[in-house]
């Protein structure tokens, strides 16, 4: 066994002395590439040959870094290759899942960097559905489905045979979902969550067939991942972050009966990732059957240690200690079962390579398939076969029942051969030097080290790069897809790579030609006499399949005096119980709004007869789709995910940006206002009920809630009595003409006041007015709302202030701001006002109030078995202990509360070190 840590595998922070954490790692099925995702928001692809061979690393023809992809806007938390090797999926803190495909014609210098892309991988699909960090994802064994999980507590299944459309969203876990794995048989999916459970889902009906909780009852919520793995024979699930009393273990769940009595014991801290070797093991001379099969699993933990186990042995096969300086975040095995890769929060990666003689019982891939076939699993619904062609667009079944692929026509003429710099074989030599650390260990008493295969050499020259030979596109890619089910080795990697590049070439060439043919040099649409080409550009961020047509150049609206029409009272008097309805907008000749990102526009036209009321979506100067509606539009909104229109008759229509009508429903009275944000729609009806719906999921996020009691009556023509907002976290906000601002607290189901003119009499305003230009005051949604309310009307403080006026007003103002920042999901503002509040409490020696704040942020000190704990450890995606540290860091520098702060800091440290139920280990 040989352990190697290449120093050049890194995600840079811009500081030469620090490395960005590497959150995820995945090796390509042919073993030639290694994908990593880091805190720098990037996905990187590395050549594995220089990692595994010093001789290859010294050869300048072998590029180390092959590609850097920068399409994510947040840290990349998961990267996973499809089993056929064509696609790479990556999930990020930006709540987006990207599907990458290689463009053989690409390459060149990375924008804003000295790095050069030897290969060019492009984002082919952008899958939007999660509303928080995408923590893990996994491809089904036949690559027909992709599962993703995240900090929004959701599981989303994507249909890879139908343009990665969303098949189903499962929202059953109680909190963050941090790991997902597929049953290789195809019958089940397993997910692991911070709700202290592993749930098993039936892939036929997506019902939960089992919830396993016992091994995780005492597990801490400190690990960012709970990566679990299903054994290649389908018999076991190795789970992470389990506890056996006070001992950290990796629990094993058996397929038969879902029992969890077995565990791997030995790590000194929480296990964060489990990864099964994809090959099975059979004792020499034994028949290859399910009874005789055994598995190998690798575990990575927060004690900086990797352990490798066989399920037939009571002790680990190998333990590699202190290979990293921080927690191990991900592990993966190569398809040949001889190399284990891992990455850590310290920003480094490692490779543990084994010699074939060290694993003499290693089985062949066909043996695994034979055992899986013994389960005789037949899906209840026939699943479409995944057929890859040069295009990555998958067609729906043809009317006759036969599935056909919508193929783009290849460019005429024979493409020029292209060269790549990936060596197809492993070169020999010791693994050290060149900025890498290397160690060697022997397992099972093996003999001397077997030499690595060397590439063919001629005339003493260095190994040459293989040349790609073009083949008919369909056959090459089909062969590549078949190769995914065959034994893969470094020696066959070049052939598989060549087939993949050739299969991908046609898609990007045809797409580029389609773009050129669609527009002339002046940017206008091609003439009617020219044949239209299929375009892969989609208006729904790669969610909508290309249609290859438009409605022509976008026609501007006729002149409209006001986009937002004046409000008018509804005729007919009161709603029920004497409640006066809210005013609604008058009908205008036209309305128009832009998407959040400014790429598209949505307009409504109310002209002519009834059948001529219409809504139109435009993008790039062209009208892409149009719908006729039976009633005039009074309100419209558009986001990057959907468009919505509210009509005079009370009907609300929602559409995907790709042009599909998602839903329509009628309110009891017309809408007074509608607001869209990301995938959610806020609707404020004239009857005084507000609701928030998740448009594409077709679910209520905030149920119908009365707001009429918050809104004062106004005369017709006055300023609007209420203005509605929707925050990205889904919180609806109302700014009323009282004046006041209210945010809906979903946990309690009530409207909480977050700003009011009352607070203009607070002594904080005078203090902030003198210091705003001299110190940092945060800008954020809370500050904007406060400014809007303050501009309406101010409340003057009394001439003769009663006792404790200033102290009461100051504390109430701080607490209102903290509550408002929390409801709005504004973490920076919350942290700022928390520190300001700590300073004020220390200056006034309000020890009891400070202790009350800390009790909420630190949580329970002890946990008694059998008693439930209502304390929630995380807030706005951050552990409350982090906020407690911020609060205490201010108090410890004040003379009045310094002693208390020192004691609380020591107590907080003890809670974390003890690994209590709610403590954190980092």
Distance in angstroms (rounded) separating the CA atoms of residues 3 and 51? 10
Averaged pLDDT of the chain: 77
pLDDT at 502 over 80: no
DSSP bridge pairs for 14: none
| Higher pLDDT among residues 792 and 501, named by residue | 792
- Residues forming beta bridges with residue 619, ordered by sequence position: 600, 622
Kindly give, in sequence order, each residue whose CB lies less than 8 Å from that of residue 895, ignoring residues fewer than 6 positions away.
none
| Bridge partners, residue 97, by sequence | 91, 127
Tell me, what's the pLDDT at 114? Answer: 60
Give the model's confidence band at 417: pLDDT under 50 very low, under 70 low, under 90 confident, else very high: very low
Cα distance between residue 792 and residue 789, in whole Å: 5
Task: Report the C-alpha gap between 131 and 401 in whole angstroms.
Answer: 37
pTM, to two decimals: 0.50
Instruction: Among 357-371, 599-613, 889-903, name the one with the lowest average pLDDT.
Output: 599-613
Greater pLDDT, 700 or 286? 700
Calpha distance 480→734 (Å, rounded): 56
pLDDT of residue 558: 63
Show contacts of 682-686: CB within 8 Å, 24+ apart. 682/724, 682/725, 682/726, 682/732, 683/646, 683/652, 684/582, 684/722, 684/724, 684/734, 685/582, 685/650, 686/570, 686/575, 686/581, 686/582, 686/583, 686/584
pLDDT in tens, 132-154: 899 999 999 999 999 999 999 99
Closest CA relative to residue 43, chosen from 65, 62, 17: 65
Q: Give the three-state DSSP class for 142.
A: coil
Residue indicated by tokens 């440290």? 909
- In tens, the pLDDT along 505-532 reads 444 444 444 444 433 343 433 333 333 3
Round to whole Å and give the CA distance between 602 and 120: 34
* Cis upstream peptide for 739 (omega within 30°): yes
Which helix or strand (DSSP H or E) is residue 890 part of? helix 880-891
Q: Domains (ranges, CATH) in the chain? A: 2-371 (2.130.10.10), 567-737 (2.40.128.630), 845-914 (no CATH)
3-state class (DSSP) for residue 329? strand
State the Cα–Cα distance between residues 539 and 498, nearest whole angstrom: 32
Nearest alpha carbon to residue 501 among 411, 388, 390, 414: 390
**% the chain with pLDDT above 90:** 40
Model pLDDT, residue 544: 39
- pLDDT, position 895: 87
User: What phi, psi does 912 have (nearest 5°)?
Assistant: -70, -40
Residues 6 or more apart whose Cβ sits within 8 Å of residue 766: none
Indicate if the pLDDT at residue 281 is higher than 50. Answer: yes
Q: How far apart are CA 267 and CA 300, in angstroms?
A: 9
Q: Which tokens belong to 559?
A: 């002149």
Helix crossing, 781-790 with 805-824: angle to 10°?
Answer: 130
DSSP string computed for 782-795: HHHHHHHHHTT---
Instruction: For residue range 832-845, list pLDDT tens digits in order.
Output: 999 999 999 998 88
- Which pLDDT band, with edges at 50, 70 and 90, does 457 fall under? very low
When mean pLDDT is compared over 80-89, 455-464, 549-558, 619-628, the highest value belongs to: 80-89
Structure tokens at 260: 């969890």
> Given a cut of 90, is residue 769 above it in pLDDT?
no
Buried-exposed string 182-199: b where 16+ CB fall within 10 A, e elsewhere: bbbbbbbbbbbbbbbbbb
pLDDT, position 757: 83
**Contact call for residues 306 and 329 (beta carbons, < 8 A):** no
Q: What is the mean pLDDT of the segment spanning 839-853?
A: 89
With contact defined as beta carbons under 8 Å apart, do 394 and 377 qualify? no
Rounded-to-integer distance, Cα 84 and Cα 441, Å:
33
The residue assigned the tokens 């701001």 is 817
How far apart CA 14 and CA 22 sit, in angstroms, is 15
40-47 mean pLDDT: 93
764 pLDDT higher than 60:
yes
The answer to whether the CB of 671 falls within 8 A of the CB of 724 is no
- The proportion of the chain whose per-residue pLDDT surpasses 70, expressed as a percent, equals 71
**For residue 569, what pLDDT band results from cuts at 50, 70 and 90?**
low
The pLDDT tens digits of the residues spanning 49-66 come to 999 988 888 888 888 999
pLDDT for 861 equals 67
pLDDT at 675: 94
At 807, the pLDDT band (50, 70, 90 cuts) reads: confident
Whole-Å CA distances, 625 to 166, 453, 571, 603, 617: 22, 58, 35, 11, 6
Three-state DSSP string of 24-85: EEEECCCCCEEEEEECCCCEEEEEHHHHHCHHHHHCCCCCCEEEEECCCCCCEEEEEECCCC
Structure tokens at 308: 């490798």
Residue 437 has pLDDT above 70, yes or no: no
Rounded CA gap, 727 and 455, in Å? Answer: 58
Euclidean distance between CA atoms 626 and 633, whole angstroms = 14
- pLDDT at residue 249 in the model: 92
Q: To the nearest 10°, report the CA torsion of 228, 233, 234, 236.
A: -50
Mean per-residue pLDDT for 883-889?
A: 92
DSSP 343-389: EETTS-EEEEE--GGG-TTBPPHHHHHHHHHTT----SSPPPP----
Q: Tokens for 612, please give them.
A: 């001529």
Separation between Cα atoms, residue 337 and residue 277, nearest integer Å: 6
| pLDDT score, position 526 | 36
Average pLDDT over residues 787-806: 76
């Amino acid at each position: 066994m040989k352990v190697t840590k290449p120093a050049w595998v890194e995600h840079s922070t811009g500081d030469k002395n620090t490395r960005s954490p590497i959150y995820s790692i995945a090796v390509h099925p042919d073993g030639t590439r290694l994908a990593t995702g880091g805190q720098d928001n990037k996905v990187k692809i590395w050549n594995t040959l220089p990692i595994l061979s010093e001789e290859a690393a010294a050869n300048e023809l072998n590029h180390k870094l092959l590609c850097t992809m920068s399409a994510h806007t947040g840290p990349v938390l998961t990267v996973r290759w499809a089993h056929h090797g064509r696609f790479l999926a990556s999930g990020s803190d930006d709540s987006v899942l990207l599907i990458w495909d290689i463009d053989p014609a690409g390459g060149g210098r990375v924008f804003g960097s000295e790095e050069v892309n030897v290969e060019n991988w492009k984002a082919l699909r952008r899958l939007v559905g999660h509303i928080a960090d995408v923590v893990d994802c996994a491809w089904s064994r036949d690559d027909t489905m992709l599962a993703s999980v995240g900090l929004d507590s959701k599981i989303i299944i994507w249909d890879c045979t139908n343009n990665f459309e969303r098949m189903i969203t499962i929202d059953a876990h109680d909190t963050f979902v941090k790991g997902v794995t597929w049953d290789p048989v195809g019958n089940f999916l397993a997910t692991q969550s911070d709700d202290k459970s592993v749930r098993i889902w039936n892939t036929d009906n997506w019902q939960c067939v089992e919830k396993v909780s016992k091994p995780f009852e005492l597990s801490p919520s400190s690990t960012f991942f709970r990566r679990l793995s299903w054994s290649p024979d389908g018999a076991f699930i190795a789970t992470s972050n389990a506890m056996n009393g006070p001992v950290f273990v990796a629990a094993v769940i058996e397929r038969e009966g879902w029992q969890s009595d077995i565990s791997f014991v030995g790590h000194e801290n929480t296990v964060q990732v489990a990864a099964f070797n994809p090959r099975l093991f059979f004792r020499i001379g034994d028949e290859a059957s399910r009874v005789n099969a055994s598995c190998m699993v690798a575990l990575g933990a927060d004690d900086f240690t990797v352990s490798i186990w066989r399920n037939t042995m009571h002790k680990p096969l190998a333990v590699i200690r202190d290979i990293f300086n921080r927690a191990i975040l991900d592990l993966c095995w190569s398809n040949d079962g001889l190399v284990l890769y891992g990455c850590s929060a310290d920003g480094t990666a490692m490779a543990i390579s084994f010699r074939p003689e060290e694993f003499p019982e290693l089985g062949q891939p066909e043996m695994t398939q034979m055992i899986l076939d013994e389960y005789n699993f037949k899906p209840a619904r026939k699943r479409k076969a995944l057929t890859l062609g040069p295009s990555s667009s998958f067609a729906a079944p043809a009317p006759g029942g036969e599935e056909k692929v919508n193929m783009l026509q290849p460019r005429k003429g024979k493409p020029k051969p292209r060269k790549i710099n990936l060596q197809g074989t492993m070169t020999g030599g010791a693994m050290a030097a060149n900025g890498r650390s290397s160690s060697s260990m022997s397992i099972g008493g093996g003999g001397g080290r077997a030499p690595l295969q060397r590439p063919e050499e001629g005339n003493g020259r260095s190994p040459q790069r293989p040349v790609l030979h073009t083949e008919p596109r369909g056959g090459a890619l089909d062969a590549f897809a078949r190769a995914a089910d065959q034994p893969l080795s470094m020696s066959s990697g070049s052939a598989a790579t060549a087939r993949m590049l050739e299969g991908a070439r046609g898609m990007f060439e045809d797409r580029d030609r389609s773009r050129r043919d669609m527009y002339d040099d002046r940017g206008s649409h091609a003439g009617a006499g020219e044949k239209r080409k299929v375009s892969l550009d989609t208006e729904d961020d790669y969610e909508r399949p290309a249609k290859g047509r438009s409605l022509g150049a976008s026609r501007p609206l006729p002149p409209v005096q006001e986009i937002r029409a004046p409000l008018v009272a509804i005729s007919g008097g009161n709603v029920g119980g004497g409640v006066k309805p809210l005013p609604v907008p008058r009908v205008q000749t036209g309305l128009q709004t832009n998407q959040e990102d400014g790429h598209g526009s949505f307009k409504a036209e109310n002209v002519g007869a009834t059948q001529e009321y219409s809504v139109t979506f435009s993008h790039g100067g062209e009208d892409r789709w149009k719908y006729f509606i039976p009633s005039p539009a009074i309100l419209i909104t558009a986001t990057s995910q959907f468009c919505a229109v509210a009509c005079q008759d009370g009907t609300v229509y929602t559409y995907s940006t790709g042009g599909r009508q998602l839903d329509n429903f009628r309110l009891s009275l017309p809408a007074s206002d509608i607001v869209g944000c990301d995938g959610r729609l806020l609707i404020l009806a004239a009857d005084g009920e507000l609701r928030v719906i998740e448009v594409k999921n077709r679910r209520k996020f905030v149920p119908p809630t009365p707001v009429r009691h918050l809104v004062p009556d106004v005369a017709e023509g006055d300023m609007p009595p209420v203005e509605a907002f929707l925050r990205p976290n889904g919180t609806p906000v109302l700014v009323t003409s009282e004046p006041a601002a209210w945010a809906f607290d979903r946990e309690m189901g009530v409207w909480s006041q977050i700003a009011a003119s009352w607070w203009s009499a607070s002594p904080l305003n005078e203090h902030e007015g003198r210091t705003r230009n001299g110190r940092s005051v945060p800008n954020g949604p809370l500050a904007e709302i406060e400014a809007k309310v303050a501009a309406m009307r101010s409340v003057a403080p009394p001439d003769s202030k009663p006792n404790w006026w200033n102290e009461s007003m100051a504390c109430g103002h701080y607490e209102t701001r903290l509550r408002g920042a929390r409801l709005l999901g504004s973490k920076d503002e919350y942290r700022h006002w928390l520190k300001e509040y700590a300073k004020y409490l220390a200056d006034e020696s309000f020890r009891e109030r400070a202790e009350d704040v800390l009790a909420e942020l630190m949580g329970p000190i002890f946990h008694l078995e059998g008693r439930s704990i209502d304390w929630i450890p995380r807030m706005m995606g951050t552990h409350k202990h982090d906020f407690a540290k911020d609060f205490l860091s201010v108090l410890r520098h004040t003379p009045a509360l310094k002693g208390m702060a020192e004691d609380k800091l020591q107590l907080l440290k003890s809670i974390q070190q003890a690994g209590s139920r709610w403590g954190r280990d980092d």
